[in-house]
């Protein structure tokens, strides 16, 4: 006669089988088993993290140091020669100029309009030279051959000033220049560009203050110059 097992007995058999099988499965050595309660998963995770840590690029930190600032040495300014005095001195007469001029002949340093004449003015002031109004940037030329004895702006009222020594103890001065293109000690020839007209110093419009001195005495430039070339203002 065939005996049938009841539901409860079948359930007890299944539970018994699982109780035997599951602990055995947990002891298996397969690295991929899913019955080891996540042990292999945790080991795998640690291995991946460790490998990533090994492969991770090393981040280098750079310490940036500010470069040492080395001051640019400034060229020493030329000191105005002692024999050149901007303060008014008695002018020599035309006769004295004629006696001392010899063969020295000067050319006009730039073209334009004479706005200040040499000598005493009606307001009691006097000028040691002449002022020539000219367009800004117009070339200023050496009035004769000579050597640059000064190029600078130490005399603020004169702005950028060039002094040139010539033969027979003559000196020419060129003031209020916009910029200078010669330096102290340079040899220049008559008509050579030495600077450009500007309005530096105590003037309000572009012009050239031009002087001729014999020794330390200012003389009237007109007797030593030819006709002035007049140029149109810009």
- Domains in the chain (CATH in brackets) are 8-46 (no CATH), 94-224 (2.70.70.10)
Determine the pLDDT at residue 74: 54
Full-model pTM: 0.61
Q: How far is CA 163 from CA 125, 149, 234, in A?
A: 23, 6, 27
Q: What is the pLDDT of residue 191?
A: 95
3-state per-residue secondary structure call for the chain: CCCCCCHHHHHHHHHHHHHHHHHHHHCCCCCCCCCCCCHHHHHHHHHHHHHHHHHCCCCCCCCCCCCCCCCCCCCCCCCCCCCCCCCCCCCCCHHHHHHHHCCCCCCCCCCCEEEECCEECCCCCEECCEEEECCCCCEEECCCCEEEEEEECCCHHHCEEEEEECHHHEEEEEEEEEEECCCCCCEECCCCEEEEEECCCCCCCCEEEEEEEECCEEECCHHHCCCCCCCCCC
Q: Tell me, what's the pLDDT at 77? A: 55
- Distance, in Å, from the CA atom of 218 to the CA atom of 92, rounded to the nearest integer, reads 7
**Res 126: pLDDT:** 84
Burial of 169-178, coded b for 16+ CB within 10 Å and e otherwise, reads: ebbbbbbbbb
CA dist 187 and 181 (Å) reads 12
What is the residue-level pLDDT of the chain in tens, covering all 234 positions?
554 555 555 556 556 555 555 554 444 444 443 444 444 555 555 555 555 555 555 565 555 555 555 555 555 556 777 667 665 455 554 444 444 444 558 999 999 999 999 988 777 778 899 999 999 999 999 999 999 999 999 998 999 999 999 998 999 999 999 999 999 999 999 999 999 999 999 999 999 999 999 988 999 999 999 777 655 444
| Residue that is written with structure tokens 């750079």 in the block | 62
């Amino acid at each position: 006669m065939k005996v049938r097992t009841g539901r409860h007995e079948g359930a007890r058999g299944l539970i018994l089988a699982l109780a035997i099988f599951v602990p055995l499965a947990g002891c298996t050595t397969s690295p991929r088993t899913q019955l080891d309660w996540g042990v292999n998963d945790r080991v795998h995770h640690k291995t991946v993290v460790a490998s990533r840590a090994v492969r991770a690029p090393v981040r280098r930190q750079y310490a940036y140091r500010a470069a040492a600032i080395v001051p640019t040495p400034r060229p020493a300014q030329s000191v105005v020669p002692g024999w050149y005095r901007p303060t008014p001195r008695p002018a020599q007469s035309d006769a004295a100029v004629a006696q001392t001029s010899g063969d020295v002949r000067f050319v006009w340093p730039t073209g334009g309009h004479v706005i200040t004449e040499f000598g005493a003015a009606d307001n009691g002031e006097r000028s040691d030279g002449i002022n020539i109004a000219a367009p800004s940037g117009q070339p200023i030329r050496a009035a004769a051959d000579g050597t640059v004895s000064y190029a600078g702006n130490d005399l603020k009222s004169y702005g950028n000033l060039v002094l040139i020594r010539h033969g027979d103890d003559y000196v020419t001065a060129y003031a209020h220049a916009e910029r200078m293109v010669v330096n102290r000690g340079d040899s220049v020839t008559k008509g050579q560009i030495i600077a450009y007209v500007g309005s530096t110093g105590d003037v309000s419009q572009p012009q050239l203050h031009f002087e001729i001195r014999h020794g330390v005495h200012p003389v009237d430039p007109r007797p030593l110059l030819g006709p002035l070339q007049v140029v149109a203002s810009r």
